[in-house]
A and B are shown apart, each in its own frame.
Chain A
Amino acid sequence: MPVLALQVEGVTKSFGRVRALDGVDLEVRAGENFGLVGPNGSGKTTLLRLLAGVLRPGGGTLRVFGMKLPSVAARQLTGYMTQTAALYEDLSVRENVSFFWRLYASGRGRSLRAKVDEVLELVRLTDRASSPVRTLSGGMRQRANLACALVHGPRLLLLDEPTVGVDPELRLSLWEHFHRMNATGTTLVVSTHVMDEARRCGRIGLISAGRLIADGTAEELIAGAGAADLEAAFLHYARKSRGEGGEAA
């Protein structure tokens, strides 16, 4: 039986009267590159925040590598890249990355420096390591944001719309990072509302109105819906989940 990176069972979450997640079941195997695809407000970010341990579910259970959340050990294995760059503006890139590393690992001096250098190299920010974050461009911020999420070498990386507002060149290079990390065994869960991006993931879960409405590879989803592309397939499954019948576009 394959090792499961994620097990989500019957998870619900409400904010006041708004039901953000309405009974989500999901399993992601270790080493998978999983795309969470849905429109804005469908519950993608809420699910990622629950998996990151930032929120607690209203109902249901979540497990990360078999550990039931909330779990400090699970947090130790998880990296979370927020949608908008969550960084300390007055600190340099290096100081930001070092700070987040120190929250996960004990060790300073040379080992810290080497690790931070390695991550900055990976996101190509070595030449801006000493620049305060507030002086960086949007794309650089996003890379610094990623560096903070992966500096502790997580086995599960949660990426919340990592390429929103990023130019095509940087998007390509970010996806190269993601694929490289995935190739070395890191499980990826990437949320996006751009269907084209979703195709870069090995398996895709379609989420709509707080429910997971279908999952499979892009090809399986398209074929299952009898649709021409992923977008049409999404609309098919969304209508079907609302009980409106499943005419493919």
Chain B
Amino acid sequence: MKIERILAIASRIVRQFLRDRRTVAFLILVPSFVMGLLGYLVNQERATYEVALVNADAGVTLPSGAVVCLGDVVAGALGGESGLHVVAMTPGEAQDALAAGSIAAVFTLPGGLTRDVVTGAGASIGLRLEGAQAAVIQAVSMSAAAALRRCPQLLQDALAALPGAPSRAVPVKPPLQLDVSYLHGGADLGPLDYMASAFIAGFVFFFVFLLTCVSFLRERSSGTIERLAASPVSRGEVVLGYLGGFTVFAIIEALIILLFAIYVLGAVFVGSVWLVLLVELLLTLGAVSLGILLSFFARNELQVIQFVPLVIIPQFLLGGLVWPVETLARPLQWIAAVMPLTYAAGAMHDVMIKGAGIGDIAGNLVFLLGFAVVVAALAAAVLRREVA
């Protein structure tokens, strides 16, 4: 062991790194960027979910002639929860809104609520959840439980305030209960079921992007791109050829991940496999195009890897894989709105958990196709600038 030789190697590495300005900038800026994004996401205020309230409580007329309707008290308790934005609806309106996905849940107060509470029989409040997003289910359920915990005291106060009420307050027991049901999925769905769909999309995008980026970089570093440029092949043909070749592998990859998720991990799947593959196909076209485009901005494999925290991680964080896009802060939602993974993960989720049809995810498919076409055109344009 000679310290001089070790120092020679160490100083050479430092010198080499300093010479690669991109890598230096990467080491300084990217961790802050990713950590900042993550911190912003984790610390953001709890989202507010729009829920419907169907208040069917008929109330009761007390012997004193006073009419008491405890449904209003429960409605008030729910409305007081910061995580909920309660809108009164008829049963029909609420059902439509839930099916359309414009509300997260419907609370239904039964017609006999007041009667049952006053007679001490206890009452059940219906909570029907849209059920496709684990995070939304959790947030709404927590808000509902908090509201219900405050209800016995509120009901007792309301009863005590009635004219002619007994001096000793009637204890409300047993407390109100939630009768939870789901439009999609349900209580038996675990985190895996909710995340599998999005992660299938995410992994396919990740692998295909990385493979294309490195392959195209090699095409340049090995000089074969020069040969292609000297041949009658057009730039468009090169990009389309790449799309064709990589799509084959991406579809196989998507199938493997999908089958593994369903049969080995037991993820729920109620939709069409063909539709899932169509989403993957369009996502792949975007990933290959993006890989070709960004490969022009990398000199070596190390610089390709540097694209991962810039291109892949934000899409994993913001694309609805972990947190639903609707719950993100407004500026993050704008970023999510231009990322292909947002649309792919959303479509996969709807197909796998809700059994959505092609019409339901048409908007997502159009965005994915548009993204692929625009990025492929950009890649062809940059290719033209690079060679000939």
Contacts and interface: CB of A to CB of B under 8 A. Distances in A.
A binds B: yes
Given A54-B387, A55-B388, A70-B388, A86 B226 contact: yes
Contacts of A195: none
Contacts of B230: 52-54, 75, 78, 80
**Size category, A interface:** 20 to 34
Contact of A54 (B222, B226, B232, B234): B226
B246 to A, nearest CB: 15
Nearest to B233: A103
Contacts of B229: 52-54
B232 A82 contact: no
Contacts of A88: 222, 224
Given A53-B388, A55-B388, A86-B222, A76 B227 contact: no
Nearest to B219: A88
Contacts of A52: 226, 229-230
Contacts of B231: 75, 100, 103-104
A75 B231 CA distance: 6
Q: Specify the main secondary structure of chain B where it touches its partner.
A: loop
Looking at A49, A56, A87, A103, which has the most chain B CB atoms within 10 Å of its CB? A103
Looking at B226, B228, B229, which has the most chain A CB atoms within 10 Å of its CB? B226
Contacts of B223: 82, 84-86
Contacts of B232: 72, 75-76, 103-104
Contact of A89 (B222, B227, B388): B222
Contacts of B226: 49, 52, 54, 80, 82, 86
Contacts of A36: none
A42 B13 CA distance: 33
A35 B185 CA distance: 75
A148 interface: yes
Interface in B204-229: 222-224, 226-229
Nearest to A80: B230
A148 B388 contact: no
Interface in A39-90: 49, 52-56, 70, 72, 75-76, 78, 80, 82, 84-89
A53 B226 CA distance: 9
Nearest to A51: B230
Contacts of A70: 388
B227 A56 contact: no
Nearest to B229: A54
Contacts of A82: 223, 226-227
| CB-CB nearest 5 A-B residue pairs | A86-B223, A52-B230, A80-B230, A103-B231, A54-B229
Interface of A: 49, 52-56, 70, 72, 75-76, 78, 80, 82, 84-89, 100, 103-104, 148
Given A84-B223, A103-B231, A104-B231, 4 more contacts: A72-B234, A76-B232, A82-B223, A85-B223
Interface of B: 222-224, 226-234, 387-388
9 contacts: A49-B226, A54-B230, A54-B388, A55-B387, A75-B231, A80-B230, A100-B231, A103-B228, A103-B232
